[in-house]
Amino acid sequence: MGAAGTLLVFAPVLGSFLAHAPVLRYDWMAGWKRPLDGGATLRGRRVFGDNKTWRGAIAMGGGALALTLLLSAWPAFWTRMPAELRSAGPAVTGVLIALGTVLGELPGSFVKRQFDIAPGAQRRSFLGTLLSIWDQGDFVPGILLALVPVWRPPLRDAVLAFAVVAVGHVAISTIGYAIGARKTVL
């Protein structure tokens, strides 16, 4: 299967962005626009902040699951997925990808809040640069961790996936900014 199969595992994450962008743009699901951390603090700083909401988790997770299910019906895609994920089935694979997508974003938000870096802001420092790079592909380790019960890629494929996804995320974020779904590019 190789690196190409590993990269395909992350294709359903596009569903997250496609589902989340209009939710943000048109303020849909306003009743779920509540912080995941419920306003909790640690060391006087928010745990995740106001931008990590139940609405976002539902939209992004639902988008990843929906696109996994749609793509699984397309043989040209599904037959190229790793055999272990095909054996697990599209629903299990989709739920794990959705879970990893949502949970993968939380550690970076936690670290940024603890260093007083506002959502969408960057620090001009070595730490700030590392956090910005991490932020672009943070869901990759989240998905890989969520998929551990059914599949583990070679390390080199996982690293390549992170690099490709991080570059792709910059492009998607730029489009989101251009259409008004994001307030910042990164």
E strand or H helix at 45: strand 45-46
Residue 17: CB atoms within 10 A of its CB come to: 21
177 and 184 Cβ atoms separated by less than 8 Å: yes
Structure tokens at 165: 């996804």
What is the pLDDT at residue 85? 98
What is the pLDDT at residue 171? 83
DSSP string, 69-96: HHHHT-HHHHTTS-HHHHHH-HHHHHHH
What is the pLDDT at residue 170? 82
E strand or H helix at 104: helix 90-104
What is the average pLDDT value for the chain, to the nearest integer?
92
Q: For residue 118, tell me if it sits in a domain.
A: yes
Length in residues, the chain: 186
Q: For residue 184, tell me if it sits in a domain.
A: no
Question: 108 lies in which domain range?
Answer: 2-178
Residue 59: CB atoms within 10 A of its CB come to: 25
Q: For residue 40, tell me if it sits in a domain.
A: yes
Q: For residue 183, tell me if it sits in a domain.
A: no
Distance CA 169, CA 132 (A): 11
1 confidence band (pLDDT: 50, 70, 90):
low
Q: For residue 169, tell me if it sits in a domain.
A: yes
Q: For residue 186, tell me if it sits in a domain.
A: no
Q: Which of these, 106, 104, 99, 97, lies nearest to 12 by C-alpha position?
A: 97
81 confidence band (pLDDT: 50, 70, 90):
very high
Residue 168 in this model has a pLDDT that exceeds 70? yes
Task: Say what the pTM is.
Answer: 0.90
181 and 24 Cβ atoms separated by less than 8 Å: yes
Distance CA 87, CA 137 (A): 26
Ramachandran region, residue 39 (left: φ > 0; alpha: ψ -120 to 50; beta: rest): left
**Count of domains forming the chain:** 1
Q: For residue 185, tell me if it sits in a domain.
A: no
